[in-house]
Amino acid sequence: MLDYKGMFLSVLTNPSNYDRVCQVYESALQRLLRCPKEEVEAPTGIIALLRYVCDVRHDVIKEFGECMSNVEKIFLPKCQKGCTHPEILTSSGKDNLNMSCVLVHCSTICLDRQISECGDDIRLENIYSLLSGATMLLGVESSLRNNVPTEEMMFAYNNIPRKCKKMMDDSERMLDLAANNVIFEVLADKKIAVISHCDEGQAQGPAVYGNEAENLIVSEKIALAKNVNEDDEPFIVFNLDTVVKKYFEFKALLPRVHPFYAVKCNNDPVLMKVLSLLGTGFDCASKAEIDEVVLPQLANPDDIIYANPCKTKSFITHAFKRGVNRMTFDHEEELIKIAGVHDNPEMILRIAVSDKTAQCPLNLKFGCDPETQAPQLIEKAWKMGLRLVGISFHVGSGCNDPTAYKIAIAFAKDLFEYGNAIGHQMKILDLGGGFPGDFRSKTSFATIAAVIQPALDLYFPEEMGVRIIAEPGRYFAAAPATVTANVIAVNKVAASRITQHEEDSTVDGYMYFLNDGLYGSFNSILFDHQSSFGVPLFKESDEIKHPTTIWGPTCDSLDQIEKVTYMPKLDEGDWIHYANMGAYTSAAASTFNGFQKPLTYYIISSGTWKMLNRHY
């Protein structure tokens, strides 16, 4: 019998126990889920799973226990009452369905006991029963998939409350994510570049590698293959594992918030497909973006928000034809325009609450004053017979001051009360975007979430029934993508030309020209206020570094990637690698001067690939 409680607590209290516990948990998962060993190797998501399950609210736990009691009455006439731990590991010889039922019964008792002992205060020391309950319910669903269901079985399954099914789905995804260790396969149904047999210098695929890969390592393999083939074109490596991990991080830290991915940030179809499989909605800002979501059926119209406060009239008509009703506004003229061309709009009022330190402040252009203008617009919508369903805001892209979210949420609560008092049915709170996405951000997503979550609990407690959404873009897109460009020319100059210091006139400096630049992937330097820092491939860290300027390939002197940096001596044909290049980069890239956009190489681990294909 496994001591779940002791096992998980030992990880939480002493990280050095992690590897040992992983081995035990691997064996347990293999037997629990009755799946091949290669699908549960070396789980890496235990801590994230624990943190997520800890956040499950009391009402969900109670519903979970109640619905499982109903299942128990149907399936378990022979099960011994009063057992305190799952008995599956000693139930050899039973089929999947029977073992699942035993587990469901036992976990129900654990859950009921925890509720009676802890009430609303669900602590880490009680995590084992929550984890058991969530895991055991997976077995029931698996059995329903793999066996011919009886009428009684389907009745029991269909009567599981929606909240419990959601907990089951998220827990299953977490468990599958924990199996993530083998790198990498590709999305075989996409026409994308892949890497295979890199150590032989070939560029063909697909392939599976035996350990988890990082973008830098993969980029080196691709660069070597390109060198063999005399191919010097720049390329992007897009790590889909990072996307999946960030999704689960988002749900773990903000469990009440449903992410609507901001398509404008990066409309890569593979990225959007993965996010769709994970269950995100989409924030669209134009007719074309709506079609990018609707036509490939990435989301239902109810999971799309047309979040552009100033819309082209024909685009509003197009949204209506596509069934997209939910849209933002921030001034009276927009209300009038929408009312004239859309028969069933669901209006969301955007207010201006800004983080002045944000990477890209937005409230100069969008948002109404929450104290003076917003009440007037709420009244105007009511008089026009338009449905106002919620409030939105955007503190600015790349937020550095999390308190801006709390201020905005407080304003939104006041406006919810005002709108409901007038007669509107306010049901949606849109937190906008601004969430940091790369690993160098001054303010982490966890820090921001630690401000948002208690603010939501204070101003919008769950019993209000408000749907809370957000519009993360760079959060999902920035970190997964890296750009590697080729040095196409080298110009040796006096270092003073680079540093602007006369004393450097006798020192060698170098200007390197790459085949990607500000008119391509690095447009984010201009449009997104991004700083890019390159790392030369295949260079030792202790090599002498020289004053360096990095230029793009076009004839425009504005095309400068790094003004002053320090790098080892490079030669024509060398490669420079840039991290965190997925947000507001390729989406705005052009082919100015005839330079083409880089090819993208998508990588994904075997565990994540199987999880996406098995469950979605």
The catalytic residue positions are: 555
Total H helices, total E strands in the chain: 21, 17
Q: What is the DSSP string of 259-305?
A: EEEEGGG---HHHHHHHHHHT-EEEE-SHHHHHHHHTTT-S-GGGEE
Distance CA 225, CA 601 (A): 13
Query: Judging by beta carbons within 10 Å of its beta carbon (0-12, 13-18, 19+), is residue 15 exposed, middle or buried?
Result: exposed
Tell me the Cα Rg of the chain: 27
**Residue 155 preceded by cis peptide, ω within 30:** no
Each residue of 380-394: b (16+ CB within 10 Å) or e? ebeeeebebbbbbbb
The contacts of residue 315 (CB under 8 Å, 6+ apart) are 286, 287, 290
Query: In terms of Cα–Cα distance, which of 440, 425, 515 is closest to 474?
Result: 440
Question: Tell me, what DSSP letter sits at residue 360?
Answer: B
- Phi and psi at 169, nearest 5°, equal -60, -50
Q: Is the peptide bond before 206 cis (omega within 30 degrees of 0)?
A: yes
DSSP string for 95-162: -HHHHHHHHHHHHHHHHHHHHHHHTT---GGGHHHHHHHHHHHHHHHHHHHHS---HHHHHHHHTS-H
Residues 380, 335: contact at Cβ < 8 Å?
yes
Helix (H) or strand (E) holding 595: none
| Residues facing residue 603 across a β-bridge | 239
Burial class of residue 431 in the structure, from the number of CB atoms within 10 Å of its CB (0-12 exposed, 13-18 middle, 19+ buried): buried
3-class secondary structure, 239? strand
Helical segments of 159-233, H only: 162-177, 215-228
**Number of C-beta neighbours around residue 590 at 10 A:** 12
Gap between the Cα atoms of 403 and 406, Å rounded: 5
